[in-house]
């Protein structure tokens, strides 16, 4: 009796984009095992068989890690200073020469993969074609539903380079945060300010904040039928 291994011929065309990297990794793993399982003229040795069982068990899991985003659209944030609502661009406008900002709160998903890191980024635009830099101060805090609310963590201060084109959308990474002590359903408070009077803030126009996102990993069940299986044939 020999052992034959059935494998996924390719990543399904209809697979969601966020699952395709994982499925490609699964297929590569299966292809690597194929060589051992189809060795000609002999059965797998005991050590090979035990190794295959362990690897198969890890890949057969129907649970995968995919990315999700905790979204803070402009309409969900409130002004914490002199930020003004721009009804033309639908976002919060931060003027030059003054400190203006917004703040908001949200919660991590119940499916958040505890212990994994998160990435915070934002989408914004300048309102004029002038050049210059914008000084940003960003703070955040995480806490569980039964915790004492902690102080703000000063995440980062940095300068944004204005692209020189009015109303051009810009994506900016803000900070990567360790997942240590983060839990499912943790509250995530954020606060972002333009330090318009800072010496590094040289852009004379206003910037408009459209959205802040917290990208994090969640657990996701793979669709039925995707995975690997082994069968005995005579």
Per the model's pLDDT, the better-predicted residue between 123 and 53 turns out to be 123
Position 166 confidence tier, pLDDT thresholds 50, 70, 90: very high
Residue 170 to residue 111: CA distance in whole angstroms: 29
Residue 9: the pLDDT is 47
Would you say residue 221 has pLDDT above 70?
A: no
Residue 82: the pLDDT is 85
Residue 192 to residue 197: CA distance in whole angstroms: 15
Residue 53: the pLDDT is 52
Across all residues in the chain, what is the average pLDDT?
A: 79
User: What pTM, to 2 d.p., does this model score?
Assistant: 0.67
- The string over 152-184, giving b where at least 16 C-beta atoms fall within 10 Å of a residue's C-beta and e elsewhere, is eeebeebbbebeeeeeeebeeebeebebeebee
CATH of 66-219, one of 1.10.490.20, 2.60.120.260, 1.10.3210.50, 2.70.98.30: 2.60.120.260
Residues 42-52, mean pLDDT to the nearest whole number: 60
Chain centre distance of CA 147: 25
Residue 118: the pLDDT is 92
Q: Identify the CA nearest to 124 among candidates 212, 204, 216.
A: 212
pLDDT digits (tens, 9 = 90+) for 61-93: 445 567 788 888 999 999 987 899 999 999 999
Residue 105: the pLDDT is 94
Domain map of the chain by residue range?
2-61, 66-219
Residue 47 to residue 176: CA distance in whole angstroms: 42
Residues 149-163, mean pLDDT to the nearest whole number: 90
């Amino acid at each position: 009796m020999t052992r034959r291994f059935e494998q996924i011929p390719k990543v399904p065309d209809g697979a969601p984009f966020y699952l395709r990297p994982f499925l490609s990794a699964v297929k590569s793993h299966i292809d690597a095992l194929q060589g051992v399982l189809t060795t000609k003229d002999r059965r797998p040795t005991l050590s090979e068989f035990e190794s295959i069982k362990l690897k198969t068990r890890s890949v057969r899991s129907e649970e995968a890690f995919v990315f999700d985003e905790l979204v803070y659209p402009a309409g969900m944030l409130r002004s914490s200073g002199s930020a003004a609502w721009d009804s033309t661009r639908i976002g919060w406008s931060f003027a030059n020469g003054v400190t203006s900002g917004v703040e908001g709160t949200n919660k991590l998903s119940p499916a958040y993969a505890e212990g994994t890191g998160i990435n915070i980024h934002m989408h914004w635009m300048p309102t004029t074609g002038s050049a210059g830099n914008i000084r940003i101060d960003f703070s955040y805090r995480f806490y569980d539903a039964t915790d004492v609310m902690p102080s703000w963590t000063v995440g980062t201060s940095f300068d944004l380079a204005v692209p020189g084109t009015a109303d051009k959308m810009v994506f900016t990474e803000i900070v990567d945060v360790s997942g240590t002590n983060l839990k499912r359903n943790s509250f995530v408070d954020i606060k972002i300010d333009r330090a318009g009077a800072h010496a590094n803030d040289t852009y004379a126009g206003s910037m408009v904040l459209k959205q802040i996102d917290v990208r994090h990993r969640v657990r996701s069940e793979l669709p039925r039928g995707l995975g690997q299986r082994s069968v005995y044939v005579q």
